[in-house]
Amino acid sequence: MTHYDLVVVGTGSGNTIVTRQFADRKVAIVERGTFGGTCLNVGCIPTKMFVHTADLAAVPSHSSRLGVDEQLVGVRWQDIRDRIFGRIDPISASGSEYRLNHPNNVNVTLYHGTGRFTGERELTVTAADDGQTEVLTADQFVLAAGSRPIVPFIPGLEETGFHTSETIMRMERLPGRLGIIGGGFVAAELAHVFSSLGVDVTMIVRSDLLLRHEDSEIAKRYTELAQERYTVKFRHETVGVQRRDDGIVLEMLCPDGSDELVVDELLVAVGRTPNSDVLNVEAAGVEVESDGRVIVDKFQQTAAEGIYALGDICSPYQLKHVANHEARVVQHNLLHPDDRIESDHRYVPHAVFGAPQVASVGLTEEEAIEQNIQYTVGRQAYADIAYGWAMEDTTGFAKILADPATGKLLGCHVIGPQAATVIQPVIQAMSFGLDAHTMARGQYWIHPAMPELIENALLNLKLKN
């Protein structure tokens, strides 16, 4: 049994906590998977590198309307894959090496293995290489162990074999036909990637919409556009999977009775679940929600004294920028226990890097109605601003919700080119309390640039003052 001042479980955002400010403390870091966490290895970074490549591959499909005739000559999947992971894998390896051997880390011990709580402030770590166990005790713990893909029970799925977002990007070759179970942001982004690279993509969705948690206008528009690019089977539930000579067969129930789909590879992308069960957090006195999320207070502290949590293991957002924010909060509170700060989750933005991009912050119109909040809506189409007109974008738009009496910004939703960038001024305005009129008229807006989309949507709000 080895005692530490602090044990951090997880090397994603949790790894950023341990800086030179902790040089006077004996620290352990525990990682059961690849050093660097989800975002670096199987999430945000590699997927966006694939998305950028897919965006380039898709250009010839629509460039001719601008008078530029282009052709996609070929796609070298292994070169695409190896360029991406040839950059990412060394970063992960160097991070691990830094924690293991750098002189700045003489007070830090890195454990590669799976940790499970076996008592109050007692974590038993099973080494990944030889299965040996070691018991770690500590005055304080930080749970930053993230989440993993949900794998639903479907008869035959395990025996047949399938991919999740954590494996599909490292395939040896592109499939001719890809089935995707799911209609959320992971499914949408990877559908865009593989369809742009020439794969015949079919999405299997239980509801009537893709991205159904977005504002309904955004979800409907995205769904319309997706159906123009690949097959989407709505209100289909996969009830069986088997492998035949001609491929992987999906048996589905649908409004018409039953349906069948044959593909070469299958991606399951129906969401992610927190790794609290892997850690057996209840043994440490940590409480969890019904969906497995660790319960934390405004300081990111759990119900167990001395145990903090951050990121996907406790957050409903499952976003890297949220985990990073929470890591800064936890770090401060560990260093300054008598002057703790609170997490700020008022205006958490997110983006979907599909085709087109989607970005959102604040209330959707449906949420405003459900919460009985007074609002007015300002809309602006890309087609009606100069740069959107130049691109001949006829489908994208921005939608802003504001309080009609005060002009307080309540939410913003964008679908179209560079939506994740275009929305940023609204996030800033909401965070610092700028009302719609001040934001629209209190600054210059570069003409002709895409942020004019936001300027015009603000001006289109019907405010009382």
What are the residues whose beta carbons fall under 8 Å from the beta carbon of 14, sequence distance 6 or more?
Answer: 8, 29, 37, 142, 144, 145, 310, 311, 327
C-alpha torsion 176→182→186→187, nearest 10: 30
- DSSP string covering 228-262, please? TTSEEETT-EEEEEEEETTEEEEEEEETTEEEEEE
C-alpha torsion 87→88→89→92, nearest 10: 130
CB atoms within 10 A of CB 360: 26
Q: Which two tokens stand for residue 412?
A: 């913003």
Say if CB 142 and CB 163 are below 8 A apart.
no
Name which of 211, 261, 257 is nearest 233 in CA terms.
261
Q: Label residue 14 exposed, middle or buried (CB < 10 Å: 0-12, 13-18, 19+).
A: buried
Catalytic site residue from 62, 213, 345, 447: 447
Say if CB 365 and CB 374 are below 8 A apart.
no
CA atoms within 13 A on the CB side of 319: 15
- 442: three-class secondary structure by DSSP: coil
Say if CB 250 and CB 264 are below 8 A apart.
no
What are the residues whose beta carbons fall under 8 Å from the beta carbon of 88, sequence distance 6 or more?
Answer: 40, 41, 45, 46, 49
Cis (ω within 30 of 0) for the bond into 356?
Answer: yes
Catalytic residue check, 236: no
DSSP character at residue 171 = -
What are the residues whose beta carbons fall under 8 Å from the beta carbon of 158, sequence distance 6 or more?
Answer: none
C-alpha torsion 441→445→447→449, nearest 10: -130
Instruction: Cite the active site residues.
Output: 447
